[in-house]
């Protein structure tokens, strides 16, 4: 897997441990050979045997999909978290337990990335990535960073500037998903700094701000933690997933799929969960009717994270403008749940079906092979899926 990664480590050791000219010459040849600086970690070439062995290495033969769909490894990306795609087709991928941001490039458009560039390292849970007007925006826990003109220099990425460093530093639910809305503003969630608690109004919210960080305001309230949202391609409404509280029961509350129709709506946390369960501690003397209910209850403890509307043309027409949700999987349920990509079909703007689309990362014996974090629609209509446990980005295509 991390062939060049390991090579890179080796090269560094070589540099540190010895200045023997032969080895430096070896380095030079390697550098020349890879046509790149030391920022580059390359994925293997896409010969069919390599592709097959890579798919096997990531257990993709165990993943079940509807008829006609196929999944393969697009790129090996350590701790692959949230994703964003540039108009040119560069896939940017963040880290949560790692400290890096990656740019993944499939130069010859054959469905396997050749290059995985490290854009930045040493960052504080740089989970969220968003792209706007040639710049890459990265969300750490308490800062938003901007890398200008990023695609002109993936091999030697520019220094970042700080858009804002005014966000809370709490690590609890501190990692972020970010995205630009149709209004051109950057939407930035701030999760609750706890399992369940009352807190300052900036917490348990979705903020929005201008792309220079000015004009920061609370857009949605009562949101325990969202790590995935998207705007409906037609209605332009903001849909978001939300993770329900823990320690209330095995089967409640459900995670939520919500719609924020306008600024100022309150989605219940910490008073009301899944739209109809008052919190035993904070919900006293409250009414569920005072809060916006989810449009769909997702499975309890599934850890629903990234979601996108399917805007591509590769899948059957029935998938158009419907929703895919990455469920990271439960960590505290006796019978584990999640570890899959779900499909939500809507009719007249309302969910009518919630079924597994890609599953098998959770084996029948309880073994976990991977944990989906985010989904993104590729330019050719394929669906990317990031997996932070296995450390990869997959590509799902429809072939019939």
Residues near Ca ion (CB under 5 A): 106, 108, 110, 112, 114
Please identify, using beta-carbon distances, which residue of 344 and 385 lies nearer to Ca ion.
385
Nearer to Ca ion, 21 or 49 (CB): 49
Residue closer to Ca ion by CB (options 46, 295) is 46
Q: Which residues contact 360 (CB under 8 A, 6 or more apart)?
A: 62, 63, 64, 340, 369
Closer to Ca ion by Cβ: residue 60 or 248: 60
Angle at 46 between CA 367 and CA 87, to 5 degrees: 90
Least distance CB 129 / Ca ion (angstroms): 21
Spatial CB neighbours of 99, under 8 Å, sequence gap ≥ 6: 121, 122, 123, 124, 125, 126
Q: Work out how close the CB of 87 gets to Ca ion at its nearest, in angstroms, rounded to a whole number.
A: 19
Instruction: Name which of 89, 367, 82 is nearest 227 in CA terms.
Output: 82
CA 330 to chain centre: 17
Q: Which of 221, 252, 227, 253 is nearest to 240 (CA)?
A: 227
Least distance to Ca ion, CB of residue 119, Å: 19
> Measured from the CB atom, is 96 or 395 closer to Ca ion?
395
CA 59 to chain centre: 21
Give min distance, CB of 397 to Ca ion, in A: 14
- Nearer residue to Ca ion within complex by CB, 110 or 195: 110
CB distance 209 to 215 below 8 Å:
yes
Contact 120, 157 (CB under 8 A): yes
Name the nearest CA neighbour of 223 among 208, 209, 235. 208
Helix, strand, coil shares of the chain, percent, nearest 5, are: 15, 35, 50
For residue 107, the minimal CB distance to Ca ion (Å) is 6
Minimum separation from the CB atom of position 113 to Ca ion (A): 6
Nearest Cα neighbor of 390 from 368, 374, 357 is 368
Q: Which is nearer to Ca ion, 51 or 232 (CB)?
A: 51
CB of 45 to Ca ion, least distance (A): 8
| Alpha-carbon gap, residue 384 to 9, rounded angstroms | 28
Q: How many CA atoms lie within 13 A of 87 on its CB side?
A: 5
Nearest approach in angstroms of CB 138 to Ca ion is: 25
Residue placing its CB nearer to Ca ion in the complex, 106 or 388? 106
């Amino acid at each position: 897997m991390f062939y060049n990664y390991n090579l890179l480590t080796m090269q560094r050791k070589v540099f540190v441990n010895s200045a023997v000219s032969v080895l430096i010459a070896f380095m030079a040849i390697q550098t020349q050979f890879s046509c790149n600086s030391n920022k580059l970690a390359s994925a293997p070439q896409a010969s069919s045997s390599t592709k097959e062995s890579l798919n096997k290495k990531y257990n993709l033969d165990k993943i079940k999909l509807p008829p006609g769909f196929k999944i393969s490894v697009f790129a090996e990306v350590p701790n692959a978290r949230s994703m964003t795609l540039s108009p040119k087709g560069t896939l940017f991928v963040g880290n949560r337990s790692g400290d890096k941001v990656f740019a993944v490039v499939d130069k010859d458009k054959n469905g396997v990335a050749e290059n995985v560039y490290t854009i930045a390292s040493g960052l504080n849970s740089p989970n969220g990535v968003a792209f706007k007007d040639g710049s890459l925006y990265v969300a750490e826990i308490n800062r938003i960073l901007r890398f200008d003109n990023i695609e002109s220099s993936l091999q030697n990425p520019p220094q970042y500037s700080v858009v804002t460093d005014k966000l809370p530093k709490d690590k609890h639910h501190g990692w972020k998903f970010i995205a630009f809305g149709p209004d051109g503003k950057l939407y930035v969630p701030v999760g609750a700094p706890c399992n369940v608690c009352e807190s300052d109004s900036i917490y348990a919210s979705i903020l929005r701000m201008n792309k220079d960080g000015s004009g920061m305001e609370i857009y949605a309230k009562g949101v325990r933690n969202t790590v995935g949202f998207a705007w409906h391609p037609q209605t332009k409404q903001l849909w978001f997933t939300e993770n329900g509280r823990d320690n209330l029961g095995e089967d409640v509350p459900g995670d939520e799929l919500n719609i924020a129709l306008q600024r100022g709506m309150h989605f219940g946390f910490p008073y009301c969960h899944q739209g109809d369960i008052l919190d035993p501690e904070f919900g006293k003397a409250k009414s569920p009717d005072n809060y916006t209910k989810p449009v769909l209850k997702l499975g309890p403890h599934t850890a629903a994270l990234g979601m996108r509307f399917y805007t591509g043309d590769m899948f059957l027409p029935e998938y158009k403008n419907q929703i895919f949700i990455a469920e990271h999987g439960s960590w505290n349920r006796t019978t584990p749940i999640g570890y899959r990509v779900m499909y939500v079909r809507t009719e007249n703007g309302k969910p009518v079906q919630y079924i597994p689309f890609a599953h098998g990362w959770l084996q029948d014996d309880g073994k976990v092979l991977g944990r989906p974090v985010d989904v993104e629609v590729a330019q050719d209509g394929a669906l990317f899926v990031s997996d932070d446990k296995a450390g990869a980005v997959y590509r799902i295509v429809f072939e019939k």
